[in-house]
Structure formats: structure tokens, C-alpha cells
A = this chain, B = another copy of it.
Amino acid sequence: MKSIFGKNLTVALFGESHGSAIGAVIDGLAPGIELNLAHIRRQLDLRRAGANAALSTARQETDEFEILSGWFNEHTTGTPLTIIIRNRHTKSHDYERTKDLLRPGHADYTAYAKYGGWQDFRGGGHFSGRLTAPIVAAGAICEQILTAHGIIIGTHLAECAGIADTPFPTSEAALKAAIESVNTKPFAVLDDMAGEQMQQSILAAKSDLDSVGGILETAVLGMPPGIGEPFFNSVESVLAHLVFSVPAVKGIEFGAGFSFAQMRGSQANDPFRMAAERIVTQSNNNGGVNGGISNGMPIIFRTVIKPTPSIYQRQQTVNIKRHENADLQIQGRHDPAIIHRARPVIDAVTALGLVDLFCETYGTNWQTDI
């Protein structure tokens, strides 16, 4: 499999940053879903460059999407739904000048090695973060399906440029409010003061011709127990697979994650208790997943996003044609941070993965079986 994911809900991703269009075919949607186009639009806006001029690239793409197939009389048809977004604001000559100079931290060298130089190098080609736009569109449809089943997803900047946000609260009522709150914010933090500081730090990095990274915390509320497959297709396997397909992600941890290394079993285990008619755990160190299967508690995971590799400082590199050392000063329009733009992408892939897993047990028709 190449740029395709999903067994029950399959997404075939295509396009290059400076080609004519990017898009995705989404196959496996149930018929009769009244698409919430405004939600797709909103999620695309959150991801879009230009939504926050100071923090983001100056590339102005409106990201207007066109649905080519699978949508009729305002509803899904049940046949493959195709979304394309035309590339309009391309300045490909920025890349012509430096096309033989491998940008550190990018896929230039690895794509060259893989495709023998035939890849579209302009703006990263197929490896561009721009390809996450159709993922966000596909994910927005899946979020709508999950919401109809009482499942909501939210992600905030748990840390950016070394500044920490408040973590998601543990009580389900407070978590629900927190998810709803961050989902309306262009710069998604729980503590707006911390958010202000993060933005200052991003701008400080920008003025240093540099960039910053951070950590996203994601919560899924409302999952029933019993979703996920044993071993090779656990909830964690599927979500990690998808999250690592998002450019700049370099790590993921569920629940207590790397902190488990310092715990003993007696602290780490989450004791079961009855709460009204429901089985719950008193703590949630396992992040809502036991043995790879959802246990009904909120699914919690944290994703690290590395600093944007495109920085304006002079960098050491190699000229791939001449096979000699060279210096590179990157041209083009780049973000000093992408973590706030990665946020809706993480939500999107989470939704994709969960819908895929639900359909495994309950079939395609589960999507509209409310």
C-alpha cells in the first residue's frame, strides 16, 4: 500500500504541492449521510495557511474544495466520494533556484533516493504538508459520523516552544466542556494565557529566522468498550499508524505514556469500579485502551510535532546533482510553527481510524445506524 489507508473506510490520497490539484477518494462511506459542508470548511480553515497571518506561511490558498463524486441531493450516495482542492497560489520558481539543494529535515533527499529524481520537487511535491488538507476534509466527515454516535474528539497544544498548557481534565463532564471549548479556538489551548505566551514564543522564533515545535494532546470522549482488534490492529496500532502519517510527527504516547517507565504496577493499573450501571476505571493511565481494545474511558494520547524544518537561516547541506557540500538559504513562504495547523489533522486521522475500526465489527451501515 502506498498513499492509501483504511480497510473498511479507505482513503486514497493524491496530489502534489505545486501540481494542479490535491485530493482524496473516500470509499466506504454509508449512503444517506447529509454532509456538514460547513464543518468540513471550518476544519480546512483551521488547517489552512493564512488563517493566522503572523504565525503562518504567506501562501494564500483558499482551499476551496470540490466534491467530484459520491454526493447527490446533499447526501452521500454510498459510492466513492472524491474531494479535490485546486492549487492556485503556487510560486514554483522559488523552488527552481534551489532544487538541487536538499532541505535539511525535509523529504527532499529521501524522495530523491526513493524515486530516482522523478518526483515533483516543488514545495515538497507529494510530501508537502499541503496534502493534509484532503485528509482534514475526509476526517471532518468521519467526525460528523462519530458525533452522531455521541463520540467527540478534541486536541489542544499541550506544549509549544517549551510553554505548557493545562492538561485535559479527568472528569468526563469537564473533559466534554474542554473539548468543546478548544474545538472553537483558532489557537487551541485550555489556558489562554499560556496560549498567548506560546504565540509570543513563535513570533520570537520567527524573528530569529527559526521555528518551534510542541506537543498535542488529544482526547476522544464517548467511546464504547470493545472497539479495536487484537494484536496487529489494536486501537493504538491503528491510531499510531495514522498519526505518524502526518508530517512532522515524531512520537506518540497513550495515557501515562513514557511516564509508565517510572511507575510500579500498583500505580499503573487502573482499578475497575461500578459507576451507576457502567464499568469504569478509577484512574486512566491506560488512556482508554486495554489490550489494544477501547475500555469505555476517554482515549487520551499525546503527539510530538517537530519544529518546522523550513527556516530562513543559512544551513549546511548537499547539492544532490553535484554530490558536494553546499550552503542553503531557503526561499518561499513558511511557517515558524505548524503545531496549531497540525491540530485539526490529528483530529482528522483519529476520526478516520476510529470509523474504520467501528465498521470492522459493525459494518459500513453502522455509520448511519444511530
Pair B69/A105 contact, Cβ less than 8 Å = no
The contact of A213 among B214, B263, B287, by CB within 8 Å, is: B263
Pair B261/A104 contact, Cβ less than 8 Å = no
Which of chain B's residues has its CB closest to A262's CB? B162
- Inter-chain contacts of A8 with B (CB < 8 A): 360
The contact of A307 among B67, B224, B264, by CB within 8 Å, is: B264
Query: Secondary structure of the A side of the interface?
Result: mixed
Pair A77/B120 contact, Cβ less than 8 Å = yes
Contact-residue size bin, chain A (C-beta under 8 Å from the other chain): 35 or more
Which of chain B's residues has its CB closest to A122's CB? B72
Q: Which stretch from A38-46, A54-62, A142-150, A268-276 is at the chain B interface?
A: A268-276
A1-24: contact bitstring with B at CB < 8 Å (1 yes, 0 no)? 111110110111111100111110
Pair A316/B84 contact, Cβ less than 8 Å = no
Q: How far apart are A2's CB and chain B's nearest CB, in angstroms?
A: 4
Q: How far apart are A283's CB and chain B's nearest CB, in angstroms?
A: 10
**Besides A31-B119, A109-B279, 19 new A-B residue pairs in contact (Cβ under 8 A), listed by A number:** A2-B229, A3-B80, A3-B230, A4-B232, A20-B67, A21-B68, A22-B69, A25-B25, A77-B115, A78-B119, A107-B291, A215-B258, A236-B244, A247-B291, A251-B260, A258-B304, A260-B304, A271-B316, A363-B365
